[in-house]
Amino acid sequence: MASSGSISAGAHGDPTRRDFLFVASGAMAAVGAIATAWPFINNLNPAADTLALSSVEVNVKPIAVGQAITVKWRGKPVFIRHRTPEEIKEAEDVKLSELPDPETDNARVTDTAKKVRPEWLIVVGVCTHLGCVPLGTKPGDPRGEYGGWFCPCHGSQYDTSGRIRKGPAPKNLAVPDYLFSSDSLVKIG
């Protein structure tokens, strides 16, 4: 019978068949462990019914020029603002180089059918800093120095296109996917 030394190492310390089997079965066990862990991790992702709730339809007809409303989409506020011509002009005139997160106003008011509607600004009302709801939708709310929204939590300021201008938030207010099925009906999500 071979000594244990000659089983675990070849004549010149070369890997033996047993070494190969150790590594191969160890690798399989690791793959198996990861494959088993995945369903547990994935289990915490949003469930099908949560995902199914992910669109809402809004009639925007009653929103007068200069007014904004908040609707709830996927548990979060979405701001729909009927912008005034001045607000649109202000948003369009900003130089991209002045923006922390450069994006044209046009790109932010385009629906999923690629139709541009500058009078309607639709943004997720969640501050990109740590998730507070910025003020500026209700009449009388402070709107910050750039006439858009002001986040009371840590002072982020957004412009009339919902772009971040000042404060700790790193990104513009997100624009959700939306589609106008007619001039007064918009589907968000």
Partner 1 sequence: MASQHGAPPVFNNRVVAWIDHRLPIFSYIEKEYHTFPTPKNFNYFWNFGAIATVMLVLMIVTGIVLAMNYQPNSELAFASVERIMRDVPSGWLMRYMHMTGASFFFAAVYIHIFRGLYYGSYKAPRELLWILGVVILLLMMATAFLGYVLPWGQMSFWGATVITNLFSAIPVVGDSVVTWLWGGFAVDNPTLNRFFALHYLLPFIIVAVVALHVVALHVHGSNNPLGIDPKGPQDTVPFHPYYTMKDGFGLTIFLIIYAGFVFFAPNWLGEPVNYVQANPLVTPNEIVPEWYLLPFYAILRSIPDKLGGVIAMFGSIAILFVLPWLDTSRVRSCTFRPIYKWFVFVLVIDVLVLGYCGAHPPEGGFVIASRLATIYYFFHFLVLLPILGKIERPLPLPPSIADAVLKKKAV
50 binds partner 1 (CB under 8 A): yes
Per DSSP, 97 falls in state: G
Segment interacting with ligand FES, rule: CB under 6 A, options 27-35, 69-77, 103-111, 153-161: 153-161
Q: Does 67 bind partner 1 (CB under 8 A)?
A: no
CB of 88 to partner 1, least distance (A): 26
160, 165, 171, 175 alpha-carbon torsion, rounded to 10°: 0
- If binding is defined by CB under 8 A, does position 47 make contact with partner 1? yes
Asked if 185 is part of the footprint of partner 1 (rule: CB under 8 A), the reply reads: no
Q: 5-32 burial, b if ≥16 CB within 10 A, otherwise e?
A: eeeeeeeeeeeeeeeeeeeeeeeeeeee
Phi and psi dihedrals of 150, rounded to 5? -130, 125
SS3 category, 17 = helix
Residue 143 as a binder of ligand FES (CB under 6 A): the answer is no
Among 81, 83, 108, 129, binds partner 1 (CB under 8 A): 129
Question: Rule CB under 6 A: which residues touch ligand FES?
Answer: 127, 129-132, 151, 153-156, 167-169
Catalytic residue ranges:
154
